Amino acid sequence: MQEGTRQVNIFTMYSQMENHFTNGLISILRLATLHDSSFINWFLGSLLQIDICDSFELLQVLRYEEKTTADAVLKGERIIVQFETKIESATLSKNQIMKHLDAFNGYSQPEQHLVMLTPDDSNSGYVKNFLDLDRTRIQHLEWRKVFDFLHKYRTDNIVLQNIISQYLETIKTSIFEQDIVGIIAKISFGEKSGVNADSYLDQMRNEEWAEWNTPRQYKNLDGTGRKLLLYDKNLRAITLEVEIAEVERTNNEVDYPWTNRFAPKTLRVFETPIPIAIIEKLDGFANFVHERAPYRNITHEQYRHLKKENM
């Protein structure tokens, strides 16, 4: 075993929570492969379209202290796959990704893949900026897709099935129910805001808006690829969502000095607005309409419920 690595053990606790999740995933890949030799190939093929002809000789989780290494590495005779794992959105680092790409120079395998495993939306401008660093080797994988893949998996190995179930519960409670996907902001109509209740949706559809001004800075939106969802108090529903690329204090409007710029091609006006009845079903949102706060954070799990209930 190389220096700086540990034997894979699903019950190992790391000082860094992300390493614990990485260790759990690699443990499941190893255990499932003992039961079904094609499991890793199926996992990578289904989720990442990585076609593997040979088997992996080494699966290892790397110490957090080794700053230049990825969180995990899978090695075969002709293929190497590095995993960079994040359990919070918008926490990827360009320098970190570039170091992982440089690390490929120390390997002889001709087929090289770097997988960014995060809660972020794969189609967000935020993620695409990282993919653009090397489109041939970098891929993004959402935790939601890993969750769905493992949730559908069935085996007659009771121990493996129980371990997968425990891991899925940990993903749900520690990532989906904690990490923020964006915010729901209440629209203020009138002359001060410059938003007309009768025309703003048509203007949005016609791409006449490229930004949204707010009375305060929403730090969770700044360059993170997170979503801004707008709640219309007249329609009593969420009417649209958009990814925010940048937040800046522009002072363009006296009462709304902060400008949230839209990421290109991410604005979506809902054909069927999400009604307050669905919003108030979310944990902690029972008094959403009556709260004085102009916005509320929303987690991945809450967002999923919103969209699912409104289908």
Structural domains present in the chain? 5-176 (3.40.1350), 180-309 (2.30.130.30)
pLDDT-based confidence at residue 68 (cuts at 50, 70, 90):
low
- Here the tokens at position 104 are 């490929």
**Inter-residue contact 176 to 299 (CB < 8 Å):** yes
Q: Quick one: 67 exposed, middle or buried, by C-beta within 10 A (0-12, 13-18, 19+)?
A: exposed
∠ CA 172-52-166, rounded to 5°: 20
- pLDDT value for 175: 93
State pLDDT tens for residues 83-98.
999 999 999 999 999 9
**Inter-residue contact 52 to 79 (CB < 8 Å):** yes
- pLDDT value for 207: 94
- pLDDT value for 64: 53
- pLDDT value for 35: 85
- 8: closest CA among 22, 55, 117? 22
- Alpha carbons 287 and 290: distance in angstroms, whole number: 5
Q: φ, ψ for residue 246 (rounded to 5)?
A: -160, 145
SS3 labels along 155-179:
CCCHHHHHHHHHHHHHHHHHHHCCC
Percent of the chain scoring above 90 in pLDDT: 69
Q: φ, ψ for residue 199 (rounded to 5)?
A: -125, -15
As a whole number, mean pLDDT of residues 232-261 equals: 95
Left, alpha or beta for 207 (phi > 0: left; psi -120 to 50: alpha)?
A: left
- Whether residue 208 is predicted with pLDDT greater than 90 in this model: the reply is yes
pLDDT-based confidence at residue 81 (cuts at 50, 70, 90):
very high
What does pLDDT average to over the chain?
Answer: 89
- Whether residue 111 is predicted with pLDDT greater than 50 in this model: the reply is yes
Q: Quick one: 11 exposed, middle or buried, by C-beta within 10 A (0-12, 13-18, 19+)?
A: exposed
- pLDDT value for 140: 98
- Alpha carbons 131 and 163: distance in angstroms, whole number: 32
pLDDT-based confidence at residue 237 (cuts at 50, 70, 90):
very high
Helix residue ranges, H only, 67-157: 94-103, 125-131, 143-152
pLDDT-based confidence at residue 52 (cuts at 50, 70, 90):
confident
- Whether residue 2 is predicted with pLDDT greater than 50 in this model: the reply is no
Percent of the chain scoring above 70 in pLDDT: 92
- Here the tokens at position 183 are 């915010």
Largest CA distance in the chain: 67
- Whether residue 100 is predicted with pLDDT greater than 80 in this model: the reply is yes
- pLDDT value for 37: 85
pTM of the model: 0.85
- pLDDT value for 225: 85
pLDDT-based confidence at residue 63 (cuts at 50, 70, 90):
low
State pLDDT tens for residues 158-198.
999 999 999 999 999 989 999 999 999 999 999 999 999 99
As a whole number, mean pLDDT of residues 49-67 equals: 71
**Inter-residue contact 145 to 171 (CB < 8 Å):** no
Q: Report the residue count for the chain.
A: 311
State pLDDT tens for residues 11-45.
445 445 777 899 899 989 989 988 888 899 899 99
- Here the tokens at position 201 are 């949706």
